[in-house]
Amino acid sequence: MKHKISNGEVELTGIGDFDLTKIFECGQCFRWKADENGAYTGVVKNRAARVRRVASSVFISGSAEDVEEIWWEYFDLDRNYEQIRHQLCIDDYMRRAVAYGKGIRILRQDKWEALCSFIISQNNNIARIKKIVDLLCREFGNRVDFKGEELYSFPSADRIARLNIEDLACIRCGYRAEYIVYAAREVAEGRMDLEKLAGCSPAEARAALKKLRGVGNKVADCAALFGLNIFETFPLDVWMKRAVAKQYGSGFDPKVFSPYEGIAQQYIYHYARSLGKKSISVSAHKAVV
């Protein structure tokens, strides 16, 4: 992989499996925002960047040092997703799902941000999750000025731990406020060691995370996959349960995708959700007609 610097951007060439829309809109993160040109802007580790793709090149605003220190790891650029895709094509369904989802990468997100975001996600739709997360950052994160725009970092567990449940009324997260504050205090005070959990098995991580108030299997598994990067984790939400039941039946064991159960899950989730939305859209159109 090669890179060069021009006009405040680092151009990376030779990157496969890097579709911005699929990466940022596949349900694994909630803070990257697209502009009218298809570029995305976000904040990681108090550093903002604009990411865009032109032909076979990926452009990331900032310096080569920024790429080395933050973005290389964040975008999981050391992992060969092409090779993983071939490994996951165990049947016709997975060949279709993998082909449809080509370009997805699992982000290496901040562990606390992922946990808190998926606590917010429970019984929620993506548009509302994004709105709540955005308000949380604006109210309690650090301001990051970027190209004339005010952006905000995700507030640390220490910052949220100092709040009361009532302080979160401004972000309109409802009953989740109690769970957010409780989780922040567990993390900030060392009772929930996310760094240590990252080295655990999926079952161990799930069991530990479920000790937090309001955290069930789905939230725990999402936090484990997207925050702790435990790739053997296979989160199941409504879309996933339907897809797995339809394609593989009740006795399905995701270990057939080992050691990349989590990446397989993303391909299936993206494929099933996209087809489901198209089906709903077509049905609604027919009803109107």
Residues 116 and 188 in one domain: yes
In a domain, 86, yes or no: no
Average pLDDT on 7-20 reads 92
Residues 120 and 222 in one domain: yes
Residues 71 and 138 in one domain: no
Among the candidates 26, 56, 78, a domain finishes at 78
Residues 6+ apart with CB under 8 A from 122: 176, 214, 216, 218, 219
What does pTM read for this prediction? 0.92
In the chain, the number of structural domains is: 3
Residues 34 and 136 in one domain: no
What's the N-to-C CA distance of the chain in angstroms?
Answer: 51
Average pLDDT on 230-247 reads 94
In a domain, 142, yes or no: yes
In a domain, 197, yes or no: yes
In a domain, 87, yes or no: no
Higher pLDDT, 125 or 277: 125
**Which residues constitute the domain of residue 18?**
2-78
Average pLDDT on 96-125 reads 97
Residues 263 and 193 in one domain: no
Residues 125 and 198 in one domain: yes
Average pLDDT on 150-158 reads 98
Query: Residue 198 has what pLDDT?
Result: 97
Mean pLDDT check: name the lowest of 199-203, 215-219, 233-237, 277-281: 277-281
In a domain, 106, yes or no: no
Residues 154 and 221 in one domain: yes
Asked whether the predicted pLDDT for residue 123 surpasses 80, the reply is yes
Query: Residue 1 has what pLDDT?
Result: 56
Q: What does the pLDDT look like over 109-121, one tens digit per residue?
A: 999 999 999 999 9
Q: Give residue 5's pLDDT band: very low, low, confident or very high (50, 70, 90).
A: confident
Query: Residue 2 has what pLDDT?
Result: 66
Residues 222 and 266 in one domain: no
Residues 10 and 64 in one domain: yes
Average model confidence (pLDDT) for the chain? 93
Q: Give residue 193's pLDDT band: very low, low, confident or very high (50, 70, 90).
A: very high
Average pLDDT on 11-28 reads 94
Residues 187 and 254 in one domain: no
In a domain, 44, yes or no: yes
In a domain, 247, yes or no: yes
Residues 68 and 137 in one domain: no
Query: Residue 4 has what pLDDT?
Result: 79
Asked whether the predicted pLDDT for residue 128 surpasses 60, the reply is yes
Among the candidates 78, 98, 132, a domain finishes at 78
In a domain, 85, yes or no: no
Rounded to whole angstroms, how far apart are CA atoms 112 and 17?
26
User: CA torsion, points 187, 188, 189, 195, in degrees to nearest 10?
Assistant: 50
Rounded to whole angstroms, how far apart are CA atoms 213 and 49?
34
Average pLDDT on 262-281 reads 81
Average pLDDT on 141-154 reads 96
Rounded to whole angstroms, how far apart are CA atoms 234 and 241?
11
Residues 130 and 203 in one domain: yes
